[in-house]
């Protein structure tokens, strides 16, 4: 089943899909997709919708589970293999957030372990989630084999490589210092890393809902049969 329409329609679709999940533990939602696809914005907007419907929402991101810089760039700052294999601490993510919210967990979770901007570990206080809470977790590479069994609903947000680069030139210019550096970082590291991920994990095939987000105010979507 597929469709297209105004942004509010896809938010309603996603909210209804989340509310249809029956679980005795918090519902863990992956909002996956390539860099600059609009994952964070979509998850933030969806959180507003769900909270208005009375759900407790936990918002967290893969950005809070980086490894230290020396580990992330041990293969070189432009290495796509380094981007895909070395950037994030999946063991910590499962240990402090995903597994505690899962069927055998105690619902005491931490939403972050690392601040990549300061390159320092953080010690976020543990919080206890209600049994009917919703974790909205956004980031790249979320449907990879290390995390394949933890999600209760999988959303994959897509954009073309050209649109990724166009958005990156606006979003990451101050961070990376020049348009030339943005283009190099994306063309040599981030976009090829997504190709590695696609070849290994086939995220668009394993997602429950695919959102095509090149036109954010008028996205299209596909609901995959399971």
Number of separate domains in the chain? 1
Both tokens assigned to 208:
């429950």
Residue 148 to residues 82, 94, 102, 156, 200, Cα–Cα distance (Å): 20, 11, 13, 13, 12
What's the maximum distance between 2 C-alpha atoms anywhere in the chain?
Answer: 50
Q: Would 70 be classed as within a structural domain? A: yes
Query: Which of the four pLDDT bands, split at 50, 70 and 90, describes residue 2?
Result: low
Token pair 């095509």 in the structure block, residue:
212
Q: Would 5 be classed as within a structural domain? A: no
Q: Would 218 be classed as within a structural domain? A: no
Q: Would 223 be classed as within a structural domain? A: no
Where is pLDDT greater, at 144 or 1?
A: 144
DSSP for 115-130 reads ETTTTEE--PPPEEPP
Q: Would 175 be classed as within a structural domain? A: yes
CA nearest to 140, candidates 83, 92, 96, 185: 83
Looking at the chain, which runs of residues are DSSP E strands? 2-4, 27-32, 57-61, 108-109, 114-115, 120-121, 127-128, 134-139, 153-158, 209-212, 220-223
How far apart (Å, rounded) are the C-alpha atoms in residues 76 and 188? 11
CA nearest to 49, candidates 5, 19, 6, 22: 19
Q: Model-level pTM?
A: 0.94
Alpha helices per DSSP H over 152-201: 161-171, 173-176, 179-185, 191-201
Q: Would 90 be classed as within a structural domain? A: yes
pLDDT tens-digit series, residues 39-52: 999 999 999 999 99
Q: Is the pLDDT of residue 3 over 80?
A: no
CATH number of the domain where residue 202 is located: 3.40.50.300
Q: Would 216 be classed as within a structural domain? A: no
Determine the pLDDT at residue 123: 86
Per the structure, the complete domain to which residue 189 belongs is given by: 10-210
pLDDT tens-digit series, residues 111-170: 999 999 999 999 888 999 999 999 999 999 999 999 989 999 999 999 999 999 999 998
Mean of per-residue pLDDT scores for the chain:
94
Residue 48 · residue 172 · CB < 8 Å: no
Q: Would 225 be classed as within a structural domain? A: no
């Amino acid at each position: 089943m597929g469709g297209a329409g105004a942004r509010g329609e896809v938010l309603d679709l996603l909210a209804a899909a989340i509310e249809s999940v029956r679980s005795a533990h918090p519902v863990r939602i992956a909002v996956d997709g390539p860099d600059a696809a609009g994952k964070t914005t979509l998850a933030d907007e969806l959180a507003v919708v769900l909270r208005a419907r009375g759900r407790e929402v936990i918002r967290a991101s893969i950005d809070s589970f980086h490894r230290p810089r020396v580990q992330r760039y041990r293969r070189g700052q432009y290495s796509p293999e380094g981007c895909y294999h070395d950037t994030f601490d999946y063991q910590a993510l499962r240990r402090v957030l995903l597994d505690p919210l899962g069927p055998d967990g105690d619902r005491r979770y931490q939403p972050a372990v690392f601040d990549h901007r300061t390159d320092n570990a953080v010690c976020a206080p543990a919080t206890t989630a209600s049994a009917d809470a919703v974790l909205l977790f956004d980031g790249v590479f979320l449907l990879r084999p290390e995390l394949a069994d933890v999600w209760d609903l999988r959303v994959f947000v897509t954009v073309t490589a050209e649109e990724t680069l166009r958005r990156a030139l606006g979003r990451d210019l101050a961070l990376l210092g020049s348009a030339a550096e943005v283009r190099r970082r994306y063309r040599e590291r981030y976009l090829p890393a997504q190709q590695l991920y696609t070849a290994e994990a086939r995220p668009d095939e394993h997602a429950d809902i695919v959102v095509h987000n090149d036109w954010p105010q008028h996205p299209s979507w596909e609901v995959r049969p399971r």
